[in-house]
């Protein structure tokens, strides 16, 4: 899949998604875009999944009829998240156009 990491998504996570193409928003110059603009740009560029740590995105944006899937990570602290990358990978692999999947990661 063609995956976009939103700002705040830990960069090391991309290594767990080695069977996918991962691009960070900052690599496209999209680090200053608001959520609506970012989603529109990602869809226009053909991204299939947006991985984010923004739990409020579903309440702030109209996500109906979107082509891109959303995977929300519940904790962006890499030392903790690294133990749960299998959950993120499972969510990415289960993503379908327009889906919204939350990956709960405990705070320890």
User: Tens of pLDDT along 39-70?
Assistant: 999 999 999 999 999 988 877 777 778 999 99
Helices (H) and strands (E) in the chain, counts: 4, 5
DSSP, res 27: G
Give the model confidence (pLDDT) of 96-108 as tens digits.
999 999 999 998 7
Give the model confidence (pLDDT) of 82-91 as tens digits.
999 999 999 9
pLDDT value for 64: 76
pLDDT value for 48: 98
DSSP 34-64: -HHHHHHHHHHTT--EEEE--TTHHHHS--T
d(CA 20, CA 62): 26
Please give the backbone phi and psi of residue 56, each rounded to the nearest 5 degrees, phi first. Answer: -90, -5
pTM of the full predicted structure?
0.93
């Amino acid at each position: 899949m063609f995956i976009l990491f939103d700002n705040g998504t830990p960069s090391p996570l991309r290594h767990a998604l080695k069977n996918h193409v991962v691009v960070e928003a900052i690599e496209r110059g999209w680090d200053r875009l608001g959520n609506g603009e970012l989603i529109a740009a990602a869809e226009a560029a053909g991204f299939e999944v947006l991985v984010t740590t923004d739990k409020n995105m579903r309440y702030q944006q109209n996500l109906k009829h979107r082509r891109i899937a959303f995977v929300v990570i519940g904790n962006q602290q890499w030392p903790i998240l690294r133990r749960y990358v299998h959950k993120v990978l499972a969510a990415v692999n289960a993503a379908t156009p327009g889906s919204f999947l939350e990956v709960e990661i405990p705070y320890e």
